[in-house]
């Protein structure tokens, strides 16, 4: 339920006050690597193609998309180009797609988590299907050194989460209507088969689930761009029953522009948000499309990429800068610079508060609102070509290369090199 003008004053005195009590928990030591993800089956997408999304929370703020020549399959993903020991999200030339969220209700020892990215790197190198990924897990000596929820989509129509724990795994089939009656599953930082009521991310889980359920009820189309705009940049808080963006749309801004950064999907430590739109069974896996918004998602732009781009063909704005020891990309650098004005307080607990009015406000001058037409242009020049390639059954290399260079030129002028004076 949202707010009327009549109840807004009461809301400010009760819900806002209550929310500040929640902020006390921000001073407690907590695990930081907490991500939000979803797998959406082709049963509920407008074109029948499944999707996976991961909003990555981490303490490594330098992000880039890399092309890796794998042992068996080439792939693109969130990895270090010159030393791809780990991968954190990606798709390979066989159309195999994988992501993960760390699980905190199977084991108590965080040392188990150090191999999550290595497993995904191996999978992208070697696997073409869910069956091959499960075989990979079977061949690893037990106890298995991971505690993770792996999201997997392949070209055979499989769409699952694989919950791993020290001695094995559970497969949760998103295509099974008994498990996912609405055609999607959200995962945060706990496992269905783990210890009940332990782990993390319950509020983010309900936020993501609510957004999707509401969209389905209204007949909205679930596309990669819906996910970027409505989920990765959502400021809906289900526990408090408030939606900051909706408040702004109705003319209400936070009293001084600031709000506590607690349990929203995008967080101070959100470093990248990515969506893979996979292919229908029988389609060319080359058409699998990865969209990524590098850096703090509310201040970034989603850019498409394909494995067939190769190392030199990826858009320059999402690739690692030449000679950059931080392994950063131009878009990530820009988004991180804008983020400094969103989290301007660094002393004490100030880092736990963000200037929401600079992101989104009733005047329509927030950075999310100003970047929306820029991202829409990237979408509008990409989708017609993508539909053409799908109808032809393959990607045209010259058209893809020309598109990537057009994206580079447009974003360099309108985002990377553009000054944004934030309305605070």
* SS3 at position 289: strand
**What mean pLDDT do residues 283-304 have?**
98
Report how far residue 368's alpha carbon sits from residue 254's, in angstroms, rounded to the nearest whole number.
Answer: 16
Of 31, 141, 152, nearest to 89 by C-alpha is 152
Give the pLDDT score at 60: 83
Q: Can you tell me the distance from the alpha carbon of 234 to that of 242, in angstroms, rounded to the nearest whole number? A: 11
DSSP 38-53: EEE-TTSSTTS--EEE
Q: Which CATH architecture has domain 5-416?
A: 4-Layer Sandwich (3.60)
Using DSSP, state whether 90 is helix, strand or coil. Answer: strand
Q: Residue 326: which pLDDT band, with cuts at 50, 70 and 90?
A: low
The closest of 270, 276, 289 to 335, measured between CA atoms, is 270
* Confidence label for 109 from pLDDT (cuts 50, 70 and 90): low
Residue 9 has a pLDDT of: 38
The whole-number pLDDT of residue 143 equals: 86
Q: What is the rounded average pLDDT of the residues 215-221?
A: 98
95 vs 127: CA distance, rounded Å? 9
> Left, alpha or beta for 197 (phi > 0: left; psi -120 to 50: alpha)?
left
Mean pLDDT of all residues in 318-326: 78
Output phi, psi for 310, to 5 deg. 70, 180
pLDDT at 123 over 60: yes
Cα distance between residue 242 and residue 220, in whole Å = 21
The DSSP annotation for 322-374 comes to TT-TT---HHHHHHHHHHHHHS---SGGGGGEEEHHHHS-TTS-SHHHHHHHH
Contacts of residue 221, defined as CB under 8 A and 6 or more positions apart, other chains included, come to 45, 46
Confidence of residue 254 (pLDDT cuts 50, 70, 90): confident
Say if CB 51 and CB 289 are below 8 A apart.
Answer: no
Read off the pLDDT of residues 175-196 as tens digits, 9 standing for 90 and up: 999 999 999 999 999 999 999 9
Work out the average pLDDT over 262-281: 97
Q: Is 0.85 topped by the overall pTM?
A: yes
Q: Which two tokens stand for residue 148?
A: 């993770």
Confidence of residue 33 (pLDDT cuts 50, 70, 90): low
pLDDT digits over 234-248, tens only? 999 999 999 999 999
Q: State the pLDDT confidence band at 81, using cuts at 50, 70 and 90.
A: confident
**Under the phi-then-psi rule, with left for phi > 0, alpha for psi from -120 to 50, and beta for the rest, what region is 199?**
left
Query: Measured between alpha carbons, how far is 402 from 397 in angstroms, rounded to an integer?
Result: 9
Give me the pLDDT at residue 111, please: 53
Kindly list the domain boundaries of the chain, sorted by start residue: 5-416
300 closest CA partner among 372, 354, 362: 372
**Is a pLDDT exceeding 50 seen at residue 411?**
yes
At 365-403, the pLDDT tens digits run: 999 999 999 999 999 999 999 999 999 999 999 999 999
**Which stretch of 148-157, 165-174, 251-260, 302-311 has the lowest confidence by average pLDDT?**
251-260
Query: What pLDDT was estimated at residue 1?
Result: 26
**pLDDT grade, residue 2 (50/70/90)?**
very low
Q: Is the pLDDT of residue 255 over 70?
A: yes
Q: Assess contact for 11 and 252: CB atoms under 8 A.
A: no
Q: What's the confidence (pLDDT) of residue 17?
A: 36
């Amino acid at each position: 339920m949202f707010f009327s003008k009549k109840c807004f004053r009461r809301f400010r005195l009760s819900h806002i006050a209550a929310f500040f009590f929640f902020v006390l928990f921000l001073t407690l030591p907590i695990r930081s690597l907490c991500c939000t993800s979803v797998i959406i089956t082709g049963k509920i997408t407008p074109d029948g193609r499944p999707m996976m999304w991961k909003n990555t929370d981490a303490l490594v703020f330098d992000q880039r998309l890399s092309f890796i020549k794998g042992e068996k399959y080439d792939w693109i993903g969130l990895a270090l180009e010159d030393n791809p020991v780990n991968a954190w999200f990606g798709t390979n030339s066989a159309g195999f797609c994988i992501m993960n969220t760390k699980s905190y209700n199977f084991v108590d020892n965080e040392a188990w988590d150090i191999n999550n990215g290595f497993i995904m790197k191996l999978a992208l190198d070697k696997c073409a299907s869910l069956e091959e990924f499960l075989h990979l897990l079977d061949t690893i000596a037990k106890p298995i050194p991971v505690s993770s929820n792996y999201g997997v989509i392949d070209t055979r129509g499989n769409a699952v989460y694989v919950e791993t724990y020290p001695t094995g795994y559970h497969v949760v089939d998103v295509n099974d209507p008994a498990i996912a009656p609405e055609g999607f599953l959200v995962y945060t930082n706990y496992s269905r088969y783990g210890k009940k009521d332990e782990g993390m991310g319950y509020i983010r889980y309900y936020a993501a689930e609510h957004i999707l359920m509401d969209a389905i009820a209204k007949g909205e189309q679930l596309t990669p761009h819906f996910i970027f705009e409505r989920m990765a940049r959502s400021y809906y808080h289900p526990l408090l029953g408030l939606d900051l963006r909706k408040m702004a749309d109705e003319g209400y801004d936070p009293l001084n522009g600031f709000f506590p950064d607690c349990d929203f999907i995008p967080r101070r430590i959100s470093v990248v948000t990515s969506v893979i739109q996979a292919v229908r069974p029988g389609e060319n896996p080359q058409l699998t499309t990865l969209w990524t918004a590098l850096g703090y998602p509310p201040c970034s732009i989603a850019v498409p990429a394909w494995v067939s781009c190769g190392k030199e063909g990826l858009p320059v704005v999402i690739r690692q800068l030449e000679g950059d020891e931080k392994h950063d990309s131009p878009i990530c650098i820009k988004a991180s610079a804008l983020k400094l004005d969103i989290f301007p307080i660094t002393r004490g607990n100030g880092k736990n508060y963000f200037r929401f009015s600079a992101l989104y406000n009733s005047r329509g001058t927030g950075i999310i609102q100003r970047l929306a037409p820029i991202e829409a242009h990237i979408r509008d020049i990409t989708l017609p070509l993508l539909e053409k390639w799908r109808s032809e059954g393959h990607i045209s290399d010259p058209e893809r290369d020309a598109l990537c260079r057009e994206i580079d030129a447009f974003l360099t002028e309108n985002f990377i090199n553009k000054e944004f004076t934030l309305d605070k």
